[in-house]
Amino acid sequence: GCPLVRDVFELTGDFCRVPKRKCHRHYCWEKLRRAEVDLERVRVWYKLDELFEQERNVRAAMTNRAGLLALMLHQTIQHD
């Protein structure tokens, strides 16, 4: 049956016990539930894409930094 909710979004853990064909209150609840799941997937994809972009930015910043190897390979000239 349809999962029952409180205050629109808070799941109660209970389910509608009326047979699906006779319940007029929860008409097409499966389609709505699938839409909610798809929306949550899209949100997760956006968050994952954002995290990949942040990782790419951090890696680019790390490669552009003057590290120990760059200091060791840098040549200086003494002007006496």
Per-residue pLDDT tens listing for the chain (80 residues): 777 777 666 777 788 887 877 877 878 788 888 888 899 999 999 999 999 999 999 988 877 776 666 667 766 767 66
pLDDT at 70: 66
> How many angstroms from the chain centroid is the CA of residue 35?
16
Evaluate whether 37 touches 20 at the Cβ level (below 8 Å): no
Residue 23 belongs to what domain range?
3-76
Phi, psi of 11 (to 5 degrees): -70, 140
Phi, psi of 71 (to 5 degrees): -70, -40
Q: How many domains does the chain have?
A: 1
pLDDT at 52: 97
